[in-house]
Amino acid sequence: MDITRKQSEDLLKKYIDSDNLILHSHMVADAMEGYADELGLPDQEKEKWWTAGLLHDLDWEKYPDEHPNKALNDILPPLGYPEDVLSAIEAHAPGRTGKDPETTIERYLFACDELSGFMNAVALMRPNRFSDMKVKSVTKKLKDKRFAANVSREDIRKAAELIEKQLSDHILFLIGIFRAKTY
């Protein structure tokens, strides 16, 4: 992939003003890179995974009704983003695009997106954020349907199955990533 991280970062900042959405984008990018690392993918693939995570919500703020299709049709292709990055972004929102996550990068982006957002909401309620977070803290909040009510618990469960992980293992892995990045 010829596109640099700086170019992707600059693009993100061009389309997103919200610090919370920029944070979410970085968290998903780091989660994706962590999983690419765990899977032993080559550096070029890791870059694609990170990029798909970073840019998956690129058009959410400016074009919420067209998300993610505005980015997929008008923003990213002219800039030369690879097809597998585009397909992962398309599959992260199957209810909007009709594309279910099938490939490995697609399944992992779907798995990292909702759970990362939910875990950040949990972290905001904790004085030490991720530094002492336990899996139990997250699973307890998942059971509380009033907490972060807009997050689909069904998507989170389905996503863990798609990457063939126990939900608790998926949560533990992401805690490790977010703790290391000091989110």
**d(Cα 28, Cα 24) in Å, to the nearest integer?**
6
pLDDT(1) > 90: no
Mean pLDDT score, 40-66: 97
Domains: count for the chain: 1
- In angstroms, the Cα distances linking 1 to 8, 51, 63, 84, 101 are 12, 10, 26, 11, 22
Share of residues in the chain with pLDDT > 90 (%): 97
Range of the domain at 100: 5-180
DSSP string, 126-151: STTTTTT--HHHHHHHHH-TTTTTTS
Q: Residue 164 maps to which CATH number? A: 1.10.3210
| Tens-digit pLDDT profile for residues 108-134 | 999 999 999 999 999 999 999 999 999
